[in-house]
Amino acid sequence: MGHLLEVKDVTKIYEGGVLANHNVNFTVDEGEIHALVGENGAGKSTLMKMLYGLEDVTSGHIYLNGEELKLSSSKEAIEHGIGMVHQHFMLVDSLTGAENMMLGLEKTSFITNRKRDIEITNEVAQKYNFEIDASRRVRDMSVGMKQKLEILKILYRSAKLIILDEPTAVLTPQETEELFERLLELKKRGMTMIFISHKLNEVKRISDRITVLKGGVTKGTYLTKDVTEEDISNLMVGREISFEYDKEEVKLGEEVLRVENLKYVDKFKIPKLSGVSFKVSRGEIVGVAGVEGNGQSEMISIITGNMVAIDGKVFLNGHDITRESITNIRKLGMSHVPEDRMLDGCAPEMSVQENLTVSNIDSFANKTGMIQKSKIKEFCKNQIVEFNVKTKDENQSIGSLSGGNIQKVIVAREFKANSDLLILNQPTRGVDVGAISFIHSKILEMRSDNKAILLVSADLNELISLSDRIIIMHKGKIAGILSNVPKVTEQELGLYMLGLKKQEGLG
Amino acid sequence: MEKKNQKKFDIMDYFSAIRIAAALLLSLLIVFVIILFVSEMPGVAIQKLMTGPLETKRSFFNVIVRGIPLVFTGLGLTLCLKSGIFNISSDASFYMGAVVATAIAISWPLPNIIHQFALIAAAAVVGGLISMLPVIVNKYTRVNPVVLAIMANSIFYYFGLSIISSFFLEKSGSWGSYKFPDDARLGTMIKGTSLHYGFVIVIVVTIFVIFLMNKTSFGYKVRVTGSNPAFAKTSGLRTSFIILMAQFIGGAIAGMGGAIEMVGVYKRFQWQTQTNYVWDGLLIYMLANGNPVFIPITAFFIAYLRVGAEIMSRSSDLDPEIVTFLQGIIILLVASQRFLYFLKKRHDQKLSLQQAEAEEGGAAA
């Protein structure tokens, strides 16, 4: 039987010599949901980008229906019936659902017909049983609805093969469940799907076959019913993962961070924070949960001094830092591991050494401002050993390291700054499992050292295993504060994150 | 382990060295071909262009004198560009530096040495302040700093010209200011040549910039800010202040260059046209790969070509403007990131495949 898609010996080397895929082989049959699993950085997204014509293939072949496929743009991929739902939505926020639906289509007339566009969109949505509001602007849609719109866009372009790149990353458990039902329905209609995820329970639930990628190499394809989650996880990482830690008993110390009634409105006049108050004390990890876009990033930006709140106050060790500069906030005792590590966390072209010393460079300089190179070198060598950074030496440019090692460098820098408060924004996003458990152990070490830690994460498992308390945000408000953390389930967090459950009397 | 690393770095530098060398050779070749087509005596022309400056002591030192202002603009630009702002207002600083030097030379009688010191220092301050303007105006108006810098170059040219015309113009003879008193000029270092003491100052300033950029925490902060401003800001660096300081120092160096050129080479202010040193400075910055150590080398190389072209035009039927071809092609090739890129790409690919195979072999063993 012929395969719909066959990937043969595909190798991809990025500029700068990063080897993302090395002789990758796998096939996809018509009408199946084929899961592609692997740790972050295993090369899943790169492979999909090549299938979708976004990246060129360094060597190897891709066959679609037995014919060799050579794509130079995503437009050609769409013409061949391949569609992709990206990890980050490719939608125009200020346009309506229907407008997004029609965007980029060649058959659209020069003058748009709103009414007809909405009709068509609703028709397509009904056909596939997707509920969306076509006349609503994308920025006012829920994440789940955006996701559905993305899939509809592809279906409307008559795709036969749909690539879903981590579609559930931003969804709540309930939204995920709904998405899966729709996907299974599509499968019944004869659609073929490639489903990328590293959430094994989801893969197990939805896929027919599984291909495992590790370090850019295919580890094999398996029938889903033949393998257990443990099997897959062993193939992915080579060992079992467990996020259960024995947490040391730490007595709560004095209060370090206090946030009072924070309010913020974005440039579209949409309220992002509507009165958030909480505090963090020494010796505790306070987790922040919430579906992306419910005010967490705004809150962190305000606390760390990157944005100014329209109302409310932030206190650090009793000092009002609401309008302080980042320089002063750091001096008062705050460290920050930013969400976007390549943009805010490091200077990719500079060396590991230079990236390790940026926030405390003055402590390595003598009175005349001259840098003491030997002192820096010693400090960096120690950090590289202590934080287990895999680099040739401290002079290698940080951009050439893997995501996990870059993150270790950033964590080393921020943890060694000797601050009272650590703000960790997605500290393990896109990091391999080995690095995750290492970073987790360091976070717990800081807790034992009596630091106050505020942890924002999209990984609910991580929040539950590390935090002492979890704050759940929904629509710019605190929907709940849970202190019985080890007993909290992901499902319970999901209910709060979706706004289905709410504690009264909070901010 | 240590040694292996060293090798990798050498290869990376080796790639930029090859690129620049190839760009130079290729552009020379193109210019030779042009000369062959347009000249009646191509042999003489090419020979004079390439070896002319070495023929007499006088013309050799001319190369150095011509190179001095290029070093100043190149170094000044290094600071401005390394901070991440494409601030090319060095011409404004350079021209106004010369104007300020003229004003102080003519109107403040001061003893020798103190006089030169005062006028260079004043030129540096004025040059530095002018260089900060594009960044400051950009902060409040969001106009692209490149546009502002080019505007500043024009505005301060006319401003400086009008200062000279209104206050310091000698009414008789050709256009020019009053003569500088001898105690304001820099004096010749070697008799029978045009080499002035500005050469000593240029060496000091070069060492200062290399030291500042590579050895001090300030230089480090400038490099971080230029490399990734968002990161610098999140890390608590005062990026606005650092950028402004870098512009000030860069502009000050350009301003000093203007003053030194004026009182070192000229007897009176005679610049009736814009100096356009900034474009030469950019060329030098690119050829030096942004490394202050190489700025003087490339600056004197460009000066050598200029002097060679002039000697060529005197002894053949060609105009000295032929070197602008040369410069144009060099800029094009050095600036185009894809020139000879396949070399680097091939090397990188080979390296990572080797690495992958070594790892696989290691895992199997």
SS (H, E, C) B146-194: HHHHHHHHHHHHHHHHHHHHHHHECCCCCCCECCCCHHHCCCECCCCCC
Provide the residue type at B87 as one letter: N
User: Does the beta carbon of B235 lie under 8 angstroms from any beta carbon of chain A?
Assistant: yes
A17–B348: do the CB atoms touch at under 8 Å? yes
Ordered alpha helix ranges (H), A351-431:
352-356, 373-386, 403-415
Closest residue of B to A328, CA-based?
A: B236
The CA distance from A224 to A195, in Å, is: 13
Taking a C-beta distance cutoff of 8 angstroms, is the pair A314, A321 a contact? yes
What does the pLDDT average to over A445-468?
88
Q: What is the 3-state secondary structure (H, E, C) of A129-182?
A: CCCCCCCCEHHHCCHHHHHHHHHHHHHHCCCCEEEEECCCCCCCHHHHHHHHHH
In Å, how far is A358's CA from the nearest CA of chain B?
A: 7
Q: pLDDT (tens digit, 9 = 90+) per residue, A433-455?
A: 778 888 998 999 999 889 999 99
If one counts every other C-beta atom within 10 angstroms of the C-beta of residue A251, the result is 9
- A359/B236 Cβ within 8 A: yes
CA distance B218 to B211: 10
Instruction: From chain B, pick out residues whose CB is under 8 angstroms from the CB of A344.
Output: 230-231, 233-234
CB burial of residue A421 (10 Å; 0-12, 13-18, 19+): buried
pLDDT at B5 over 50: no
Q: Which of A34, A88, A50, A78 is nearest to A196 (CA)?
A: A34
Please give the full DSSP string across B46-72, using - where no structure is assigned.
Answer: HHHHHHGGGSSHHHHHHHHHHHHHHHH
How many Cβ atoms sit within 10 Å of the Cβ of residue B200? 11
Question: Of all helices (H) and strands (E), which one includes residue A313?
Answer: strand A311-316
Report the C-alpha gap between A352 and A379 in whole angstroms.
12
* Interchain pair B237, A15: CB under 8 A: no
Best A344, A362, A381 residue to mutate vs chain B (most B CBs within 10 Å): A344
How far apart, in whole angstroms, are the C-alpha atoms of residue B317 and residue B328?
22
Strand partners, A143: none
Pairwise CA distance, residues A211 & A27, whole Å: 9
* Per-residue pLDDT reduced to its tens digit, A89-100: 888 888 888 888
Contact A326 B233 (CB under 8 A): yes
**Nearest-CA distance from B196 to chain A in Å?**
32
CA B174/CA B163 separation, integer angstroms: 17
Residue-level pLDDT at B3: 38
Quick check: A496 and A472 in contact, CB under 8 A?
yes
Q: What's the confidence (pLDDT) of residue B295?
A: 92
Please state, in angstroms and as integers, the Cα–Cα distance from residue A298 to each residue in A271, A456, B97, following that order: 11, 12, 47
B8 has a pLDDT exceeding 50: no
The answer to whether the CB atoms of A396 and B235 lie below 8 A apart is no
Minimal Cα–Cα distance from A366 to chain B, Å?
A: 9
Q: How high is the mean pLDDT of chain A?
A: 84
Q: How many CB atoms lie within 10 A of CB B10?
A: 11
**How close, in Å, is residue B347 to chain A by CA atoms?**
8
CA-nearest residue of chain B to A353?
A: B220
Q: Given strand A82-85, what is the order of strands in its sheet? A: A82-85, A161-165, A192-197, A33-37, A209-214, A217-223
Nearest to A369 among B2, B218, B355 (CB): B218
Is the CB of residue B227 less than 8 Å away from at least one CB of chain A? yes
Is residue A93 classed as helix, strand or coil in its secondary structure? Answer: coil
Subunit contact B348:A350, Cβ cutoff 8 A: no
pLDDT at B2: 38
Check A58 against B224: CB less than 8 A apart: no
Judge contact between B99 and B160, C-beta under 8 A: yes
Over its C-alpha atoms, chain A yields an Rg (Å, rounded) of 24
CA A65 to CA A188: how far, in whole Å? Answer: 20
Query: What CA–CA distance (Å, rounded) separates A497 from A478?
Result: 10
Residue B363 touches partner A, C-beta closer than 8 Å: no
* Percent with pLDDT over 70 in chain A: 95
How many angstroms separate the CA atoms of B97 and B250, rounded?
Answer: 13
pLDDT at B363: 46
Q: Is the pLDDT of residue B362 over 60?
A: no
Is residue B353 within 8 A of residue B51, CB to CB? The reply is no
Q: Is the pLDDT of residue B52 over 60?
A: yes
Q: Where are the domains of chain B?
A: 63-297
| CA distance readout (Å), A464 to A287, A294, A482 | 8, 19, 10
Judged by CB atoms closer than 8 Å, whether chains meet at B234 and A338 is answered as yes
User: Which residues 6+ apart lie within 8 Å of B30 measured at CB?
Assistant: B325, B329
Per cent of chain B over pLDDT 90 is 34
Confidence tier at A106 by pLDDT (50, 70, 90): low
For A471, the enclosing helix (H) or strand (E) is strand A469-474
* B276-313 per-position pLDDT tens digit: 888 889 888 988 888 899 899 989 988 998 888 888 88
Closest-CA distance, A392 to chain B, in angstroms, reads 7
The strand pair at A82-85 and A161-165 is best described as parallel
Phi, psi torsion values for B80, nearest 5 degrees: -60, -50
CB of B231 within 8 Å of a chain A CB? The answer is: yes
Which chain B residue has its CA at the smallest distance from A333's CA?
B236
Name the token pair of B73.
Answer: 């603009």
- Look up residue A409 and give its two tokens: 């460098």
Residues of chain B neighbouring A338 (CB-CB closer than 8 A): 234
- Shortest distance between the Cα of A305 and any Cα of chain B, in A, equals 9
Q: Starting at the earlier edge strand, list the strands of the sheet with A59-64.
A: A19-28, A5-13, A59-64, A67-68
Give the side-chain half-sphere CA count within 13 A for B341: 10
- Torsion, Cα A445 A450 A452 A454, to 10 degrees, reads 20
Q: Which one is predicted more confidently, A34 or A267? A: A34
Rounded Cα–Cα distance for residues A357 and A143 (Å): 39
Interchain contact, A344 vs B231, CB within 8 Å: yes
Tell me A220's DSSP state: E
Rounded-to-integer distance, Cα A209 and Cα A142, Å: 31
Check CB contact of B40 with chain A, cutoff 8 Å.
Answer: no
Task: Give the residue from B223, B231, B337, B350 with the most A CB atoms within 10 Å of its CB, the best one to mutate.
Answer: B231
- Diameter of chain A by CA atoms? 76
Check if B232 contacts A (Cβ < 8 Å).
Answer: yes
Chain A contact for B218, CB < 8 A?
yes
Closest partner CB to A370 (pick from B215, B237, B351): B215
pLDDT at A455: 93
User: DSSP letter at A342?
Assistant: I
The predicted model scores a pTM of 0.77
Q: How far apart are CA B363 and CA A113, in angstroms?
A: 61
Q: Which of the residue ranges A363-367, B31-35, B84-88 has the most confident prediction, judged by mean pLDDT? A: B84-88
Contact indicator for A229, A37 with CB cutoff of 8 Å: no
The whole-angstrom separation of Cα A271 and Cα A295 is: 9
The predicted complex's ipTM stands at: 0.75
Pairing of strands A319-320, A311-316: antiparallel
Domains of chain A, earliest start first: 5-237 (3.40.50.300), 253-333+419-507 (3.40.50.300), 346-417 (no CATH)
Residue of chain B with shortest Cα separation from A373: B215
Q: What is the pLDDT of residue B359?
A: 57
Q: For residue B11, give both structure tokens.
A: 């290869």
Residue B36, H or E segment: helix B2-38
CB-CB neighbors (< 8 A) of A396 in chain B: 5
Instruction: Answer whether B227 sits within 8 Å of A349, measured CB to CB.
Output: yes
The H-or-E segment that residue A277 falls in is strand A271-281
Separation between Cα atoms, residue A426 and residue A437, nearest integer Å:
14
Residues of chain A whose C-beta is under 8 A from some C-beta in B? 13, 15-19, 22, 58, 216, 304, 306, 325-327, 329-331, 336, 338, 343-350, 354, 357-359, 361-362, 364-365, 368-371, 392-393, 395-396
Residue B170: per-residue pLDDT: 83
Mean pLDDT calculated for residue range B139-154: 91
Chain A residues touching residue B216 (CB < 8 angstroms): 365, 368-371
Amino acid at A417: A
Classify residue A369 by its DSSP letter: S
- What values do phi and psi take at A60, rounded to 5? 110, 175
Q: Which of A56-60, A87-91, B136-140, B230-234 has the lowest mean pLDDT?
A: A87-91
Average pLDDT over chain B, rounded to an integer: 84
- For residue B181, is pLDDT > 90? no
CA-nearest residue to B222 within chain A is: A358
| Partners of residue B353 in chain A, C-beta under 8 Å | 13, 19, 22
Structure tokens at A355: 């990236």
